Amino acid sequence: MLHEASLHSRQRRGSASSSTLVSPFLRQTEPETLENSRAAELFQTTLHVLNDKARQRYKRDVMAPALLSWEDVELIAELSKCPPVTHPNICQQSHLNKYRSISGVCNNRQNPLWGAANNPLVRWLPAEYEDGGREPKGWNQGRLHNGFQLPPPWEVTKKIVRSSSKLKDDVYSHMLVEWGQYISHDFTLTPQIKGGAGLWSEVDCLKTCQNVHPCFPIETGDTIKAADGCMPFFRSNAACIVKRRSDIRQALQRQQMNGITSFIDASCVYGHSPRLESSLRDLYGLNGKLAVNDQFRDHTGRTYPPFVANLPSACRQGPHSERVECFSAGDSRINEGMPLICLHTLWLREHNRIAEALKHINGHWSPETIFQEARKIVGALHQIITMRDYVPKIIGVEAFEHYIGPYRGYDPTTDPSTSNVLATAAFRFGHGTISPILQRLNESFQMHEHFPHLRMGSTFFSPWRIVKEGGIEPTLRGSIGTPASTASANMLLTEEVTDRLIILNDSKFRDLASLNLQRGRDHGLPGYNDWRSFCGLERIITLEDLKEVVRDSRVAENILQIYKNPDNIDVWLGGLVESQLPGSRTGPLNACLIGKQMKAFRDGDRFWWEAEGMFSQQQKAELLKGSLSRIICDNSNIREVPADSFRFGRFPNDYFSCDHLPSINLEAWREEMSQDLVQCGTPRHIWNGDFILSSTSGKLVALYSCYHGFKLKGAAAIICEGNQWNNQPPQCTGT
């Protein structure tokens, strides 16, 4: 079935216009993700076929234990080519003790896949599908939920979500909004089914208004804005999941995949697979740096990210003769907006700045050691800026203390995997803070003379505006020098994203609010009330209850008028309309869900910056001097910044010269050559690979590894014994 559908899909794409070849958000899917997705679709399809047969023959559900055993399930998974269970023994390799793996595997030694890329989003509450296993809420026409049909997402957008204006926040800058989007790309990416990744039918999701997997179109009834009266929607990829549990039915429900690592680990800078990481590095510069753009620099010679490999790319072009292609980074969403490009550019430059300093300080370090130590510092700064400077502002200090609290060390019993409800609902609270206008400011933090403000729609997928219109500085100044937009119950999402969301080379419009609601239903998320119960909050029973939580009577009345029953309210909407807690930008539900997730990210990460053995006390003290404002100072031409880039201040009174801002002294990373290294000498470098030095049982060991695409031949480790290395270095041969 899948093979036939895949062939038809390829034939369709081959004969279609180029407009259907562009992934709507330019999210390039890694080969490993595609393989896992196809295996998961085979697994799910097999269960689907078996279930149909069982119902025809036995009038029973195949998930009844008498019909399907765990041995059967494991065999189906094996035949579907789902990845085998990763045994903890692989985590004993010593190089995994010093630096985190790029894919997140073996962060937890007993549960190697916790938090790793291409694994299921975790469920904090069981999924709710209309058939119990895979069909989303709203899949079956006329199906009642608590006595009523669910309202179409487009109706919810029109009557509740869409807003023509936004309130401004006089406390925080728009950088708070931009960091939220940027850091969310560090721990969640839900791939969507496209083409041959797995289909159960030959239907083209861009052309149908029927619910036929993988198509789950959004009804609009508006043939002017959406041809055929619906918006296209692709379901999220399934994830292979075979774990021994007591409840086989729950274990076999459709789960969705997180295509990247769950950790706050700067994977958006470095990638989440060996192949992607390798493509981003300057491997043959022997300097531990990341690759930079070889065509463009800014007017002071500062670098930009490299272009994507497949050219010409789909990014928009300006009125210039020379093309500016899509940028490449650890996360493929870099080109979605100009502030995202700016933040990615800052961190690329910061890595290379640190790597250059470390090479100067520790001349005996190998390029691999320089790269990994710089990556470790950049990862720590992502964690510090997020947990110290960002999260308390979002959920409030009181909720931070309640749900997160002080750090008490690494807890190997905590699963750090991203939860389905965070990825699909809670962290999408930020969509209510999107501004319809992107402001660009000059050195005096006034409207730029040459580069005016832009409507958001004209900023998507436009790296040319960064390269050709003043570099990253005008946009960065706009982010830190403009008050943040904020959501309120009667002003949720701007029309720029509900009416004019841009999808490259596709004439069909999209509505971000409808996409969020439909995605929650696609994932089988329980309703708003169930999540309030999960967080220990009182359920909404009456209109008065809802009015108390929302604090806008008209909005509360509209919600109940549309949903009929409080238990039917979608969790994304319910969390978004709640009145914000004091000193926060979220209501009680989202504060709870975000707080619980951040605690799991921190406590379940063996490589968290504060964990024992990660950094020396002196290094920790230096890292705490780091800030986003300092990163801006060190990697752009902006010379005056607020002490905290997330707080809105007036220029020049609330701004500081970069010369007066604390900076990290990398001398804390100076490492003298050990006596063993002096006696044995620096290990020999090898082609297409490198080494890091480690200490095992008191002996100096050189641990060799090959770059992606090469295979190690010989001993992976050589030991310094008797003033010489006990073996020849290995070789890296092409595979």
Summarize the annotated binding site as residue ranges. 431
Q: What does the DSSP 8-state code read for residue 580?
A: P
User: Residue type at 705?
Assistant: S
CB 163 within 8 A of CB 490: yes
314-315-321 Cα angle (round to 5): 105
Residue 416 in contact with residue 263, Cβ under 8 Å? yes
Contact call for residues 261 and 267 (beta carbons, < 8 A):
yes
Length of the chain counted residue by residue? 735
DSSP string, 427-494: GGGGGGG--SEE--B-TTSSB-SSS--EEGGGTTT-HHHHHHTTTTHHHHHHHHSSEEEE-BTTB-EE
Cβ atoms of 479 and 175 closer than 8 Å: yes
Which residue pairs from 553-561 have beta carbons closer than 8 angstroms and sit at least 24 positions apart in sequence?
554/490, 555/160, 555/489, 555/490, 556/489, 558/159, 558/160, 559/160
Catalytic residue among 48, 185, 213, 382: 185
Taking a C-beta distance cutoff of 8 angstroms, is the pair 382, 350 a contact?
Answer: no
Distance CA 200, CA 185 (A): 29
DSSP 256: B
471's tokens:
């570099």
Residue 415's Cβ-side half-sphere holds a number of Cα atoms within 13 Å equal to 12
- Binding residue positions for heme b: 431
What SS3 state is found at 258? strand
Does residue 304 contact residue 297 with C-beta atoms inside 8 Å? yes
Q: Could you tell me which residues are beta bridge partners of residue 207?
A: none
Dist CA 411 CA 424 (whole Å) = 26
The answer to whether the CB of 156 falls within 8 A of the CB of 562 is yes
Rounded CA separation 178/477 (Å): 12
Do the Cβ atoms of 248 and 171 come closer than 8 Å? no
What one-letter code names the amino acid at 413? T
Is residue 453 a contact partner of residue 331, using CB atoms and an 8 Å limit? Answer: no
CA–CA dist 289, 375 (Å, integer): 10
Record the tokens describing residue 237, joined without a space. Answer: 């990829």
φ/ψ of residue 705, rounded to 5 = -145, 155
Residue (of 346, 348, 304) closest to 327 by Cα position: 304
Residue 661 DSSP class: S
- C-alpha dist (Å) from residue 29 to 33, 80, 109, 316, 581: 6, 20, 27, 21, 38
Short-list 51, 46, 54, 52, CA closest to 80: 46
Number of H helices, E strands in the chain: 26, 18
Handedness of CA 190, 194, 199, 201 (dihedral sign): positive
Determine the straight-line distance between the first and last CA of the chain, rounded to whole angstroms.
33
Question: Which residue matches tokens 């965070």?
Answer: 422
Rounded CA separation 521/515 (Å): 10
Residue with token string 């500085």: 473
Please give the distance of CA 653 from its chain centroid, rounded to a whole number: 36
Active site residue 364: no
Taking the CA atoms of 367, 370, 374 and 376 in sequence, report the sign of the dihedral they define: positive
Token digits of residue 405: 């609290």
Enzyme catalytic residues: 185
